[in-house]
């Protein structure tokens, strides 16, 4: 189902509301929500778990989500919707969340947009759609959905975090930092936001601030590999290469760490350091020989063009 057809579908839903019960009994109401996906499991679930009302179906959906059973949750939300006289925003939003988590971006977007057509002020659907558009690199579209939510009362941290990412992409690091701080006020200690704030500060050249935020991120989630990698970038920028290697190699892949820090050193213009890191990556792992040797060849070409200087003139 294409997004441009959502209005027609929503209107069709309203037109059909008067005969919803009959349609459900005849098995044709499923056509209304069929594009949002049952994957054929409805018969088994419907037989094993009968319900008397949409509210009971939605409760079952929530319980299934908590138990990690997304298939059952999707069925329950769609079953509840089919029992309603007209479409309801919140269960459509929940359906979108399930598809979003599964990577079904088109289905998720359809569900979010449908929910917003029914209830334009639905914060959850608006935020989720904005985040999805950000992931699709539609930054203007994402901002259009997220900015009004972020400017409202009790705005969710996800809205500010996403707007911070958009600002960083545009090079507006001060604005990005403001959004991340607001996100942390709404949800203190969230590792994702701390990581984004740290990387934003790194991009802005505030290395002490970046180090502080990224250390907080890995303290909150010691297995957060991206935050460790970003922390390694900060140490590399500061010239503390050994600590940078230890941070990037938290997963045990020291060859990758040497290659990554070598690449950062090359971008920073520290060519002699970079060559040493690439050579160590090649020594440690044949798997990185091709990648590191290609980096080393590119670096050698740079050195020859710049007369062996550690930084180009």
pLDDT tens profile 85-121: 999 999 999 999 999 999 999 999 999 999 999 999 9
Same domain, 65 and 13: yes
Same domain, 83 and 67: yes
Same domain, 110 and 142: no
Buried b (16+ CB within 10 A) or exposed e, 207-218: eebbbbbbbbbb
Closest CA to 237 of 209, 278, 217: 209
Q: What is the pTM of this model?
A: 0.78
Specify the 3-state DSSP secondary structure of 53. coil
The last residue of a domain, from among 95, 120, 145: 120
pLDDT tens profile 133-152: 999 999 999 999 999 999 99
Rounded CA-CA distance 2/299 in Å is 48
- Tell me, what's the pLDDT at 26? 34
Residues 243-258, mean pLDDT to the nearest whole number: 84
Residue 8 has pLDDT above 90, yes or no: no
Contact 231, 214 (CB under 8 A): yes
Same domain, 1 and 116: yes
Same domain, 221 and 181: no
The last residue of a domain, from among 187, 208, 231: 187
| CATH at 74 | 1.25.40.10
Residue 305 has pLDDT above 80, yes or no: no
Same domain, 97 and 143: no
Rounded CA-CA distance 171/89 in Å is 36
Between 183 and 33, the more confident residue is 183
Range(s) of the domain holding residue 220: 189-250
Number of domains in the chain: 4
- Tell me, what's the pLDDT at 290? 60
Same domain, 44 and 3: yes
Buried b (16+ CB within 10 A) or exposed e, 193-203: bbbbbbbbbbe
| CATH at 140 | 1.25.40
Token pair recorded at residue 164: 């911070």
Q: From its phi and psi, is residue 188 left (phi > 0), alpha (psi between -120 and 50) or beta?
A: beta
Same domain, 1 and 112: yes
pLDDT tens profile 152-177: 988 999 999 999 999 999 999 999 99
Same domain, 208 and 177: no
pLDDT tens profile 188-218: 999 999 999 999 999 999 999 999 999 999 9
Rounded CA-CA distance 130/259 in Å is 35
* Eight-state DSSP code of residue 156: -
Rounded CA-CA distance 87/114 in Å is 9
**pLDDT band, residue 283 (cuts 50/70/90):** confident
Same domain, 76 and 160: no
The last residue of a domain, from among 97, 120, 143: 120
pLDDT tens profile 17-71: 333 333 343 333 446 788 887 554 455 565 567 899 999 999 999 999 999 999 9
Token pair recorded at residue 203: 């991009």
Residue 10 has pLDDT above 50, yes or no: no
Between 306 and 181, the more confident residue is 181
- Tell me, what's the pLDDT at 47? 55
Same domain, 203 and 173: no
Same domain, 107 and 131: no
- Tell me, what's the pLDDT at 278? 80
Rounded CA-CA distance 198/204 in Å is 10
């Amino acid at each position: 189902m294409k997004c441009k057809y959502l209005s027609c579908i929503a209107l069709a839903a309203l037109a059909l509301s008067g005969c919803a019960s009959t349609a459900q009994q005849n098995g044709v109401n499923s056509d209304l929500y069929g594009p949002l996906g049952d994957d054929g499991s409805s018969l088994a679930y419907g037989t094993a778990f009968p319900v008397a009302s949409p509210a009971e179906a939605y409760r079952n959906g929530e319980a299934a989500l908590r138990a990690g059973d997304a298939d059952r949750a999707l069925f329950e939300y769609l079953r509840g919707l089919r029992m309603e006289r007209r479409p309801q925003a919140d269960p459509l939003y929940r359906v979108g969340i399930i598809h979003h988590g599964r990577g079904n971006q088109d289905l998720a977007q359809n569900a979010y947009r449908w929910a917003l057509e029914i209830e334009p002020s639905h914060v959850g659907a608006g935020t989720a759609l904005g985040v999805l558009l950000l992931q699709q690199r539609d930054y203007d579209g994402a901002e259009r959905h997220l900015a009004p939510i972020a400017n409202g009362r009790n705005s969710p941290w996800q809205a500010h975090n996403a707007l911070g990412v958009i600002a960083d992409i545009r090079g507006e690091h001060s604005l990005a930092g403001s959004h991340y701080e607001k996100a942390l006020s709404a949800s203190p200690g969230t590792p994702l936001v701390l990581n984004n704030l740290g990387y934003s500060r790194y991009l802005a050249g505030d290395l002490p601030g970046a180090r502080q935020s990224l250390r907080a991120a890995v303290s909150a989630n010691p297995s957060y590999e991206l935050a460790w990698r970003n922390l390694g970038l900060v140490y590399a920028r500061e010239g503390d290469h050994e600590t940078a290697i230890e941070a990037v190699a938290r997963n045990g892949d020291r060859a990758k760490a040497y290659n990554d820090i070598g690449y950062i050193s090359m971008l920073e213009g520290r060519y002699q350091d970079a060559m040493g890191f690439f050579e160590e990556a090649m020594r440690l792992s044949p798997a990185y020989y091709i990648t590191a040797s290609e980096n080393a060849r590119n670096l050698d070409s740079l050195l020859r063009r710049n007369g062996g200087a550690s930084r180009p003139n």
